Structure 1
């Protein structure tokens, strides 16, 4: 099967391909085979992108989609308030059905906004049935997804059996021949458990060939990266989420190890983590990546994340250019997931994970500088078409083959049931009260 994306403004994010003011992209069996100013392919199905921006799909390498039912309720929350609300109050009442519908709609939301690859950082941790419900949802959504299985908040139990079980299930290609769903491990940090437990988890991840992700933040009195470094636990397969407050020497340790950093700028600025580490990471030789984190507190699209990171860093030192942000959200994030050979740029030989962005909408028109326009004025409403491995999953601004009303009704029912069981209000006045320390 051949498809030809024709006549678009191609932003490839591949220096060898470059940008094309008017270009075509040929796709065969889901793989990009040619990118050129004009391609003659009379037997291909034509996707008319005339005058629109054609670019790689976004890559979100850190999102907790199980919280999708509570969108917006935490806009005013600090981090301790969020932790008490999501982990201490509502999470104990989640059933597998709640996990399934929240994960499915969270993944569809990401696809709708142009995120073709998403790492779902799962830490509901209620049992195997909940894990399987999240996996089923990610399989049902037609995106490229990574199920990142993590222990629950302040959960100190062994998780090796869970990891081995899910790893075996996802390695069974009879269940998923598309190759679009893979696995990672959400490690616990040394501040959450003992260094011996972290060492055991890292060793098992090495044994199973799993990439890992780890949340870290420092107030300046702790040195979580240095402790991992001291025990030989830094890997080039680990993404460190947030990393606010760690020392410059710790950033250098990450760079030397080949690790990556995932910045969630909106959450970090609003919840009190401190300034995003974008500029400091670059100074240490790290390529930052961008992620959404939690939609109870922030928007779920990469356009918003790019703008927040851009504005924060420019406000600090005037650094960064618009293309940097686009790279953080595409090829750099794909590399952090170990998927840069398959996605993250419009490159012959890679899977066709591509989005087409409208340029005629008044909110972005006229598009004089396509990259600048995407970063400064882009929004999900402009995403007209989304392809994942060559399959069109969004067309003319609407997801293909998705019964949204029924799913939305399920999510509302889930939200309301959990809220009633947890005794929380849904009238805009819910503000968790963490204990004073």
Structure 2
């Protein structure tokens, strides 16, 4: 492609040919193509191969030195919380619950939901995430839901709204006339650009009040996504109740699934459910150890997610890297505790790239249309290429390069449904200034509503004093900056 060509050259209906890429197709029949070409026409991938003829009027993208892969799929992101990005960097899960569930979740207005969703949607596309599940549990009213939908439709990505209300009872709101009216307004006819799920958790109450919410999901033919195996919040009792009442099936996604028993994992596997793993979240917040080492052993399909930008990074490069490292760390710890040594890594870089792409598509029931670079599928594609970065060469192990070397800054081109939404590292058809203005207003509003003391306490939660361990090596009296060594009493 000549240097003069710009985003405006990608007019609707004009074919696009990616030339000479390393193609990670995530399709077993195609595999990895070195120096591969991919032809896009309209919404779909038309051909994948070598030295493809460029149709007349096609835009030819020089992808040499880059990796062309399916658009990534995030199966669990609280998009509305992006408006307070980074506020909870030092929170525990308990502090997260106190902030949103007890103290401040109620202050979010519809325009705040809109602001967070708008910024999160743009950010996802920028990082090569072409499909995102908006785990939107801040929808206190249908008007909040309207705002969430409006924002998602403003951004040229593929989204699934997982409707939830953390301040309400799911068995009530899922069956309310107001919610049914919301569904009729926005989802009377459905397409694969904006889907709908129900998002709620199962507390383990033996009365199983969530039954009515599951029944609503079945009546409306909606999948369910639920936080399961969250230490101190949701546990094996919730899984057991779902199983006993017949609500475990392939349309349920279990988010985190990090602190469950073998019996619960076996029930998820037997029912065809899928898991959404948010490794940065599980490692930092304490839902339990990232469970991929258990999920693999039970044959449970895995997808990846980033959870929330109020804490962590919002891209699946970070998710892949953290997941691969956490799984391998667990294998080493398990082996070493038994006096053994791991000599072969069971989880490979290819696996986490698969979980970030076709794995996410399978979890959403969209693997017939997205998730792999396959002729006939929708053209959700990401070109990872950065000629200005020393990190992008040499590229010897393409799966490993995606998982361990590349990052969001290396995302060169992004297509969603055949339309170019990012090219040469620049976003197109998105209003970042509008998003910036909206989230600035939300952040200022939240700070004012909370008051300065509560705001500062959220930024810097209290650290309890810890007792120093006496050092028995009394021959050392070294005292360095930031180092404390207590002498053992003689």
Q: TM-score, normalised by structure 1?
A: 0.93
Q: CA deviation at 1:305?
A: 0.7
**Alpha-carbon RMSD:** 2.1
Which residue is equivalent to 2:198?
Answer: 185
Task: Work out the CA distance in 2 between the residues paired with 1:379 and 1:327.
Answer: 17
Aligned partners of 1:394 and 1:400 also within 8 Å = yes
1:91-133 Cα offsets, whole Å, 9 max, x none, are 2221111111111101110111000000001111321111100
Checking the alignment, whether the CA contact within 8 Å between 1:359 and 1:366 is kept in structure 2 is no
Give the length in aligned residue pairs.
Answer: 430
Q: How does 1:266-345 map to 2 (within 5 A)?
A: 266-317=280-331, 318-345=345-372
Deviation of 1:279 after TM superposition, in Å, equals: 1.1
**What is the aligned counterpart of 2:43 among 30, 37, 42?**
30
Matched, 1:213 2:225: yes
Give yes or no for the alignment of 1:138 onto 2:152: yes
SS at match of 2:414: strand
TM-score, normalization by structure 2? 0.83
Flag the 1:248–1:196 CA change in 2: closer, same or farther, 3 A: closer
The answer to whether the 8 Å contact 2:228/2:258 transfers is yes
In the TM superposition, what is the alpha-carbon distance from 1:36 to its structure 2 partner? 0.5
Contact 1:73 1:428 in 2 (8 A): no
Report the Cα offset of residue 168 of structure 1: 1.8
Does 2:451 align with 1:423? yes
Q: Which residue of 1 aligns with 2:138?
A: 124
Q: In the TM superposition, what is the alpha-carbon distance from 1:299 to its structure 2 partner?
A: 0.3
Give yes or no for the alignment of 1:357 onto 2:371: no
Measure the CA separation in 1 of the matches of 2:459 and 2:66: 43
Equivalent residue in structure 1 for 2:402, among 339, 361, 374: 374
Greater shift in the superposed pair: 135-144 or 45-54: 45-54
Q: Within 2, Cα distance between the matches of 1:169 and 1:48?
A: 43
Structure 1: where are the runs of 5+ without partners? Answer: none
Say if 2:386 and 2:411, in contact at 8 Å, map to a contact too.
no
- Structure 2 CA distance for partners of 1:248 and 1:152, relative to 1, 3 Å: same
- Aligned partners of 2:275 and 2:302 also within 8 Å: yes
Return the offset for 1:194: 6.3
Instruction: Tell me if structure 2 keeps the 8 A contact 1:84–1:432.
Output: no
Are residues 180 and 156 of structure 1, via their aligned partners in 2, closer, same or farther at CA, if it must alter by over 3 Å?
A: closer
Q: Name 2:415's counterpart in structure 1.
A: 387
Matched residue SS, 1:416: helix
SS in 2 for 1:206: helix
Residue in 1 that maps onto 2:434: 406
Partner secondary structure for residue 134 of structure 1: helix
1:348 equivalent in alignment to 2:375: yes
What's the secondary structure of 1:158's corresponding residue? helix
Rounded Cα–Cα distance in structure 2 between residues aligned with 1:64 and 1:323: 27
Q: CA separation of 1:269/1:153 partners in 2, compared to 1, >3 Å: closer, same or farther? A: farther
Structure 2 stretches of 5 or more lacking a match? 1-12, 332-344, 464-490
Task: Tell me the equivalent position of 1:201.
Answer: 213
Q: Structure 1 residues 196, 248: CA separation in 2 closer, same or farther (over 3 Å shift)? A: closer
